[in-house]
Chains A and B, each alone.
Chain A
Amino acid sequence: MRKRSLINLGVILSLILTTAVYSLGQTVQDKYIKITILHTNDTHSRIEPFPMDGSRNQGLGGVAKRAEVIRNIREENEHVLLLDAGDYFQGTPYFNFYSGELEIMLMNELGYEVATIGNHEFDLGLDNLARQLGKAKFQIVNANYGIEDTPLEGILKPYTIIRKGPIRIGVFGLGVEMRGLVPEKFIGNTIYNDPVLAANETAAYLKNEEKCDYVICLSHLGLEYDDATASDLVIAKNSQNIDLVIGGHTHSFLNEPIRVMNAIGKEVLINHAGWGGIILGRIDVFFEPKTLNKWFKSENIKID
Chain B
Amino acid sequence: MTKHLILRFSYMLTVLSILFLTSCYTLYQPVKSDGSYVRIDHRITGESEAINMLIKPYKQQLESEMNTVLAMIGTELNRQKPESTLGNLVADILLVKAAEISGKKVDFAIQNYGGLRIGQIPAGPITKGKVFELMPFENYLMVVEVPGSDLVQFAKKMIEYGGWPVSEGIKITGKGQELDGLEIGGQPIIADKIYTVAMPDYIADGGDNCIYFVGKPRINTGELIRDVLVKWFEDQGKSGDIIRGKLDGRFILN
**Inside 8 A of A180's CB, which chain B residues have their CB?**
205-207
* Interface 0/1 of B36-78, CB less than 8 Å to A: 1111111010111011101100110110011000000000000
Q: A64-B51, A69-B44 are in contact. Are A20 and B36 (CB under 8 A)?
A: no
**Inside 8 A of B35's CB, which chain A residues have their CB?**
256-257, 269, 271, 281-283
* Interface 0/1 of B111-139, CB less than 8 Å to A: 00000000000000000010010001110
Whether A282 lies near B28 (C-beta < 8 A) is no
Number of interface residues of A (CB under 8 A): 78
Whether B44 lies near A289 (C-beta < 8 A) is no
Q: Give the distance in Å from the alpha carbon of A33 to the alpha carbon of B29 in the complex.
A: 10
Q: Give the distance in Å from the alpha carbon of A62 to the alpha carbon of B38 in the complex.
A: 13
For residue B135, give the distance in angstroms from its CB to the closest CB of chain A: 10
Q: Give the secondary structure class of A's interface.
A: mixed
Q: Give the distance in Å from the alpha carbon of A254 to the alpha carbon of B29 in the complex.
A: 26
Q: Give the distance in Å from the alpha carbon of A14 to the alpha carbon of B211 in the complex.
A: 82
Whether A213 lies near B29 (C-beta < 8 A) is yes
Number of interface residues of B (CB under 8 A): 55
Q: A47-B55, A94-B62, A244-B33 are in contact. Are A280 and B5 (CB under 8 A)?
A: no
Q: Which of A97-131 contact B (CB under 8 A)?
A: 97-98, 102, 105-106, 109-110, 123-124
CB of B26 within 8 Å of the partner chain: yes
Q: Give the distance in Å from the alpha carbon of A254 to the alpha carbon of B136 in the complex.
A: 27
Which chain B residues have a beta carbon within 8 Å of chain A's beta carbons?
A: 1-2, 4-5, 8-9, 12, 16, 19, 22-23, 25-42, 44, 46-48, 50-52, 54-55, 58-59, 61-62, 65-66, 129, 132, 136-138, 140, 201, 205-207, 226
Top 7 nearest A-B pairs (CB, nearest first) are A67-B48, A257-B35, A64-B47, A68-B46, A287-B28, A289-B26, A213-B28
Which chain A residues have a beta carbon within 8 Å of chain B's beta carbons?
A: 1-2, 5, 8-9, 12-13, 16, 20, 24, 27, 32-33, 47-49, 59-69, 71-72, 90-94, 96-98, 102, 105-106, 109-110, 123-124, 166-167, 180, 183-184, 211, 213-214, 243-244, 254, 256-257, 269, 271, 273, 277-293, 303
